[in-house]
A and B are shown apart, each in its own frame.
Chain A
Amino acid sequence: MDHERTTMRLTREAFAANFAETEQGLTRRSAMEESNRCLYCYDAPCIKACPTGINVPSFIKRIATDNLKGAAAAIMDANPVGASCSRVCPTEELCEGACVLNDASEPIRIGLLQRYATDWAINGGATLFQAGVSNGRRTAVIGGGPAGLSAARELARSGFAVTVFEAKPLAGGLDTYGIVSFRLPQHVSLWEVEQVRKLGVDIRTGVSVGSDIAVSELIEQYDAVVLAVGMGQVPSLGIEGEALEGVYDAIRFVEATKTGELPLPLKGARVAVIGAGNTAIDAATCSVRLGADNVKMVYRRTKDEMTAYAFEYEFAKRDGVEFSWLTAPVRIVGNADGKVTHLECVRMALTGDVGKDGRALTMPVEGSEFLLPVDAVILAIGQSRRLELIEQLGITHNRGVVIVDEETRRTSHPMIYAAGDVAFGAGQGEAMVVSAAEQGKRAARAIERHFAAKPRSEAI
């Protein structure tokens, strides 16, 4: 077993340096130059391209006129997680992709300007919003990720008492635990949580609905419930060897880099990442930063079917990540100590046909199996559904994807609304922080409308 290697942990210092935010924020001068370049378009396409409809030209004009508080307020008003979004939104596909200057010169760097304004608010400790006058109604939000925080913030602003139940020790969802620190430092997400808390929202962390508190209790005690539990861990691939030491679930793997635990011992390691979505890329670039010698992404299809964003792909390539297209994992091989040593793969070939989802079909090339010597395997083939909780709530779903009315986010249960990843899939929505935020807002609006239409009877 000459292939086996001893891998090590990075020192704390090296870890901190490797996971520090990659992109530098704008300097005041570049923010001024950039904001003054914005045309302040009327009926601007960037507003429409932003799922939360941030008034982009307005916040940019406020930066240009040294009104950073106004800029931050305009952003956070439309998007309760606007600081995180400034860092994690695929802006090329959203606002910046829509900028009219794309064809004339260079699009305005909206994401960076948004970060400039929200960083100001974070650093200056500005209070941007206040709770509405109490209307006596109580709402529960299950899950404190972007969708849940967004719903909670809006409900609190319109006078509802809001309790957020969050299973993890900290709120923020994947912004806090799932998106790599070098793109989104945890403090940014926690600041957003704090903004919601400051409106009087009761955020109960460490409380898992369904186990720590019964679903029936919530339905009895609250006037409306917003389900915003996102998705779960990476599902099993169903191949041999998944339980070996050195096999990781990509979500837990990234989480381990965000929670202050000891860095995973990947220094010098050869890592195979299975999958080619954004999560897979994040796991790969995290591996590089943990000191891995070689990181390969193993994907059964081709580059054209890869679901990762183009900028994510470029980022991984710059990090030296290698891509093995048309390669499918067959089994994971371990040694006598139960440690991973190899990933057995098989080459795939295009059949020439296209599947129902429009993607090219592939099939294994007989006899092409080979052993890839590795020290770690990271599984990143999507996320599982929180089926148990959804069933307990008794709401309609399609294989774990909660079915909602797009505009109101109402589920089949009249007092339960759903927002974010929990209702993503089966042709519904997109798994992005910004869409989770918008859906949370919509659920809150629908609840507001619902109760404004039926004022409380206690006044009699």
Chain B
Amino acid sequence: MADLRINLAGIPAPNPFWLASAPPTNTGYQVQRAFEAGWGGAVWKTLGDPIINTSSRFAAVHFNGQRVAGFNNIELITDRPLEVNLKEIYETKKRFPNHALVVSLMVEPKREKWHEIVKRVEAVGVDGLELNFGCPHGMAERGMGSASGQQPDLVEKQTMWAKEAAQTPVIVKLTPNITDITVVARHAVMGGADAISLINTINSLAGVDIHTWNTVPHVGGKGAHGGYCGPAVKPIALSMVAECAKDRAIGVPISGIGGISSWQDAVEFMLMGASGVQICTAAMHHGFRIVEEMIDGLNNYLDEKGIASVMELTGQAVSRYSTWGELDLNYRVVARINDETCIACNKCHIACEDTSHQCIDMLTDEGGRRYLKVREEDCVGCNLCSIVCPVDGAIDMVEVSGGQASMSWNEMQQAIVRANAGDDTASTTGKEAV
């Protein structure tokens, strides 16, 4: 049994699985049920000046028979009075002293507002605060949420204000609705953030009903953009986490969020730099008990790998997430089709023929049996055939050595610079490589 405990910027938790600030953490009843079910921590549904929510709030994107590939919402922050939330937070913390209880906050970008809410929340006893600069809808129209989260200076300033009053660790939650998330992350750190969490939801419109022409979801015939989350956003979230983990100027612990629905997803986020993860959609889809399968899977994985503590995972794969310019241009893989396993659906052939490099031949042997073969010399190793192949082990992408030493684009540019030493144009080319 591996040690699943984590410590995120000074906030300890019995395991890395926390509920993200969202409907699952709306009330004390829910958070306590979640802790009973095994969740290691919870970020309370964002507190602020109470708002009014619309009826009809969520929509999902189903993909080929699988429900909830992506999830979309137009819900705002808590619609319950602050006093009620504070009372329940107090009771929850008292009942579960060893679980991580973090409270998400969002107020107008005013110093006194931040001071006031931080003090009131910390007074009931919490393990940390999360500043919600991410909500992309509704709150943004009021100059909060992602509207302030998209302005690096506002993020920095508000973080500073919160930090001025805070005694507990402050996590800044980032919006992905921005060109370069590391810019905002750096400003959060300049403002004094103890940790960052990402991602909040991505601007989205789940769909249009092609018969009524209403948006999905709609509120009495009108819709507005919502926030997208769930399995579909995982690759976006993962790359943003990795970008932040790589950035030395950021350097604070990361709470990874976005599309995590299994223990494997959690492991990926941790390998890419997260110290723990937050989950919303998977809990909304399956209930709190889903954490049992996550804990069991993570535990067996760590045991099997001989890893004593889950914290050893954090950041292990970050150094492998490099930049395009550092990739070895002489590295080569080619597709190889395993005749024994191939079920002859021919999907690889047509994918390569129509949309890649026309190098999978459909052949017939002497016995009249049809088979597929890759012309390896023409294969560029794009992976497309193995992606469309429906059978495990039917197409392997195998490394082939071209006999050449490794050479990245950056190295190539430097070599050109050296070769052309003295040449006027060389230095400009060299710069482009960085």
Chain A residues proximal to chain B, CB less than 8 Å: 28-29, 36, 40, 42, 58, 61-62, 65-67, 69-70, 73-74
Contact = CB atoms under 8 A, between A and B. Distances in A.
B293 A61 contact: yes
A65 B293 contact: yes
Contacts of B293: 58, 61-62, 65, 67, 70
Given A67-B300, A67-B301, 5 more contacts: A29-B391, A62-B296, A62-B297, A67-B297, A74-B296
B263 interface: yes
Interface string B275-293: 0000000000011011011
Interface in B377-409: 390-392
Nearest to B295: A70
A28 B393 CA distance: 11
A130 to B, nearest CB: 11
B265 to A, nearest CB: 9
Interface string B288-315: 0110110011001100100000000000
- A28, A40, A42, A67: most-surrounded residue (chain B CB, <10 A): A67
A68 to B, nearest CB: 9
A62 B264 CA distance: 11
Nearest to A37: B65
A65 B263 contact: yes
B262 interface: yes
B49 to A, nearest CB: 35
B300 A58 contact: no
Nearest to B261: A65
B262 A65 contact: yes
B66 interface: yes
Query: Which 9 pairs across A and B sit closest by C-beta, in order of nearness?
Result: A67-B297, A70-B296, A65-B262, A61-B293, A69-B300, A65-B297, A70-B300, A40-B286, A67-B300
Contact of B392 (A28, A36, A61, A70): A28
Contacts of A70: 293, 296-297, 300
Contacts of B301: 67
A99 to B, nearest CB: 17
- B286, B289, B300, B301: most-surrounded residue (chain A CB, <10 A): B300
Contacts of A58: 289, 292-293
- B264, B290, B293: most-surrounded residue (chain A CB, <10 A): B293
- A65, A66, A73: most-surrounded residue (chain B CB, <10 A): A65
A67 B296 contact: yes
A42 B286 CA distance: 8
The A interface, classified by DSSP as helix, strand, loop or mixed, is helix
A65 to B, nearest CB: 4
Contacts of B390: 29
17 contacts: A29-B390, A42-B289, A58-B292, A58-B293, A61-B293, A62-B297, A65-B262, A65-B264, A66-B264, A66-B297, A67-B263, A67-B297, A67-B300, A70-B293, A70-B296, A70-B297, A70-B300
A199 B6 CA distance: 33
The B interface, classified by DSSP as helix, strand, loop or mixed, is helix
Contacts of B300: 67, 69-70
B391 to A, nearest CB: 7
B305 to A, nearest CB: 13
Contacts of A67: 263, 293, 296-297, 300-301
Contacts of B287: 42
A64 B297 CA distance: 11
A61 B294 CA distance: 10
- A36, A62, A74: most-surrounded residue (chain B CB, <10 A): A62
Interface string B345-377: 000000000000000000000000000000000
Contacts of B66: 36
Contacts of B391: 29
Contacts of B304: 69
Contacts of B297: 62, 65-67, 70
Interface string B250-275: 00000000000011100000000000
Nearest to B287: A42
Nearest to A36: B66
Nearest to B286: A40
B253 to A, nearest CB: 26
A378 B3 CA distance: 59
Contacts of A65: 262-264, 293, 297
A65 B296 CA distance: 11
Contacts of A40: 286, 290
Interface string B84-122: 000000000000000000000000000000000000000
Contacts of A66: 264, 297
Nearest to A68: B300
A86 to B, nearest CB: 20
Nearest to B285: A40
A242 B66 CA distance: 60
A73 B262 CA distance: 18
Contacts of A42: 287, 289
A58 B391 CA distance: 26
Nearest to B391: A29
A213 B423 CA distance: 101
A391 to B, nearest CB: 48
A66 B304 CA distance: 13
A101 to B, nearest CB: 12
A36 B392 CA distance: 16
B211 to A, nearest CB: 24
Nearest to B265: A65
Contacts of B289: 42, 58
A441 B409 CA distance: 66
A435 B126 CA distance: 49
Interface string B391-432: 110000000000000000000000000000000000000000
Contacts of B296: 62, 67, 70, 73-74
A65 B293 CA distance: 9
A55 to B, nearest CB: 9
A66 B263 CA distance: 10
Nearest to A60: B293
Contacts of B290: 40, 61
A38 to B, nearest CB: 11
Nearest to B299: A70
A67 B296 CA distance: 8
Nearest to B67: A39
A118 to B, nearest CB: 16
B30 to A, nearest CB: 15
